[in-house]
Amino acid sequence: MRACSEAALAKTAAELALVLRKGDRVLLEGPMGAGKTTFARELLRALGVHQPPEGSPSFAIAHEYHSPKGSVVHIDFYRLKSEGELEDAGIPAYFWEREAIVISEWLSMFPDFETAVRRTGRTWTVRLAFSDDSAQRDLEITSE
């Protein structure tokens, strides 16, 4: 873990973007307000998505973008309440039927689905947490 500012989050997102490839999964973890959506926006920007959204895709659940590395999908699982809703929203297709880079927030709300996601494809976990300094966040990135 290291503490970093919003500018450092953007730099870290840019570094991660350099190594991402089609089919990779980026799982953003952390409490509400820790910076998951900010990191996702900076990662989308670093992947070459023009005008990434300012907010989370909570209302639409998933947004698909085009980048020089191919399709990039940003999914916010927060509003989904059941595995059935995952199916109804077509979420599994983003992970298993497409060669997209998938950025996920709140996937941990569905532990069985998260386990399945982690077993297939290359997975990057970005953990964000509040720091003692309110202007910074603790950040840890691991890969599986």
Domain map (residue ranges) of the chain: 2-143
Other Cβ atoms within 10 Å of 78 Cβ, number = 16
* Residue 69 pLDDT > 90: yes
* Residue 56 pLDDT > 70: no
Buried-exposed string 57-74: b where 16+ CB fall within 10 A, e elsewhere? beeebbbebebebeebbb
Phi, psi (deg, nearest 5) at residue 44: -60, -45
pLDDT digits 0-9 by tens, 93-115: 988 877 899 999 999 999 999 99
- The more confident residue out of 82 and 52 is 82
pTM of the model: 0.89
pLDDT of residue 67: 95
Work out the average pLDDT over 59-88.
90
pLDDT of residue 126: 97
Work out the average pLDDT over 123-140.
87
Q: What percent of the chain stands above pLDDT 70? A: 92
Residue 21 pLDDT grade (very low, low, confident, very high; cuts 50, 70, 90): very high
**Long-range CB pairs of 112-115, under 8 A, 24+ apart, other chains included:** 112/83, 113/83, 113/86, 114/27
> Nearest-CA neighbor of 101 among 54, 137, 126, 66?
66
Nearest-5° Cα angle at 39, 43 to 54: 90
What kind of architecture, by CATH, is found in domain 2-143?
3-Layer(aba) Sandwich (3.40)
